[in-house]
Amino acid sequence: MHASVTRPLTALYVAGPFSMGYADFYTFLMPLYALSLGFDAAEVGILVGARSIVALLLSIHIGVLMDRFGTRKVTLFFVWTSMVLAPLFPLVPWFWGLLLLQLMNGAVVSFAWSGAQTLIAQLAKGEARDLGRFTFFARLGSTTAPILGGAVWDFGGAWLSYLVGVAWGGVLTAALLRAPEAEFFAAPREEGAARARFRARDVWPRRSDYANSLMLLAIPAIAVSLAIMAMRNSTYSIQTSVYVVYLKQVGLVGTTIGLLFSSAEIASGFGALFAGRAMGLGNAQRTMLSGTALSILLIALTPLLGGILALLLLFQMVRGWLEGVIQPLVLSAQARAAGRHQQGAVVGLRQTGQRFTSIIVPPIMGWIADRCGVGESFFFLGGFMLLLCIPLALAIRRVGRRQSLNESPAGAID
């Protein structure tokens, strides 16, 4: 790789942990702050879940804005917005005020992370090895953010914690400023067009932008990889909801639960470094689906482990490693399949699917747990998700056959 290409990717490797950890840092702080104000569990749950609502609705729109006006420029705007919002949290001890702040801040830190993903996809041009390295460094942020957040909270409370959030945004700003803006690519029908000038009306979402982004689902590689990513995210939603309830029931304390979470993140980071080699194992989509199915099976079997810490740790590390391998493969498949002018749109589409599963999986899992038992909820949802792998496997097989048929005539002509 040439030095001119390595330099911007190095800056993005630094931005990776600070962009992914940015969202995790604020996610970790919110329940601590809400509990310190005396809010009950339902109010805490509403505040935590609120961070995904605006992102669910606007991820596609923001992705299109990144394609249209420049990924780095749009990402920096959201980082700076979050830096302005952070000091307001300690000044607002009321539920409805915090809910409004959480709706806004949860969205902007999510869009900052989306921007970092879009920029690496544009600059790395879908290369799985570079995307794997980016994912590895990003996982360092998600691993250290809760640890740092907890330590700062214990030492200085809400004010110091949210001021550290401002400093975190400052470091992310410096890293993004070191990275170049991605080259602008117009849509094929607009070949030769220059990057558009921003106007106030561009803030409002356009129906045509959503329609064009949803049309990406007609590309088999994007549709299949989005479905796989949504299923992968479902296992994370299980981990952050009923999985914690189960661990509490078997007598594990908060520190031990944190260790299990961190072990999965660390293993995921190292798994991401294997993504480049995983591309050489054959059909990348088949590799992604196999890893996802095994990941689902591992978390579904949690109640059978009897609360034995060594087994829980082993299953978490294997599942984390698998999911670390899968993520860069998904990013690579989507970056290669989407047009150079639609990288932000495909990231927005992916984020929409992930936010959707983050909102619906925990309550469904909780409803099953309340009526059938916590252990049984793992088997019900895990079994259902494994059944969903069957039509995905058939779709991948059909696409593979179609590609083989298309390549055969070309080979005969050569």
What domains lie within the chain, and their CATH numbers? 1-184 (1.20.1250.20), 206-406 (1.20.1250.20)
Lowest mean pLDDT among 61-65, 66-70, 227-231, 339-343: 339-343
What pLDDT digit, counting tens, does each position of 360-384 carry?
A: 777 777 778 778 888 888 898 889 9
Among 363, 365, 366, smallest CA distance to 381 is for 365
* Exposure of 396 in the CB half-sphere (CA atoms within 13 A): 20
pLDDT on residue 188? 47
Q: What is the mean pLDDT of the chain?
A: 80
Residue 318 has pLDDT above 90, yes or no: yes
Burial grade of 388 (CB within 10 A; 0-12, 13-18, 19 or more): middle
**In sequence order, what DSSP letters do the residues of 250-304 get, joined into one string?**
TT--HHHHHHHHHHHHHHHHHHHTTHHHHGGGS-HHHHHHHHHHHHHHHHHTGGG
pLDDT on residue 126? 67
Lowest mean pLDDT among 228-237, 276-285, 347-356: 276-285
What pLDDT digit, counting tens, does each position of 109-123 carry?
A: 989 988 888 888 778
